[in-house]
Amino acid sequence: MIGLELGISIASAAVRGEATGRPTAFRGDVVSVAKRALKAGEVLDGEGGYMVHGKLAPAEMSLKLGALPMGLASGVKLGNDIPQGGVVGWDDVEVDDSVLAVQLRRELERTMRG
């Protein structure tokens, strides 16, 4: 989706001085889905790799599933087997909680759950 919006975003910013791409709420998420059966102990290769792809999901569904955001699916080790087509969840991976992106995402999730 980013590529489709790039031209209009540049034009809006340069010509009209408008900010673009600013979300007003957490409505959608890109969750990590196994391209093939994955085994515990494997390390995910992230976006553009051979192990997972992103699937757009409503934010509410992503939170309900405890889904791992696609943007954080690189370099994390699986603790559980995941079947082909299965959503990879936070509970399925070993995450470094000292990473700022992980901290910010977890804060977002806590905020959304109330």
Under the banding of pLDDT at 50, 70 and 90, the label for residue 11 is confident
Contact yes or no for 75/51 (Cβ under 8 A)? no
Contact yes or no for 78/44 (Cβ under 8 A)? yes
Full-model pTM: 0.82
Q: What are phi and psi of 82, to 5 degrees?
A: -130, 125
The single-letter DSSP state of residue 21 is: S
Q: Taking 80 as the threshold, does the pLDDT of residue 6 lie above it? A: no
pLDDT computed for residue 8 by the predictor: 79
Rounded CA separation 52/31 (Å): 9
pLDDT computed for residue 4 by the predictor: 62
Tens digits of residue pLDDT in 46-93: 999 999 999 999 999 999 999 999 999 999 999 999 999 999 999 999
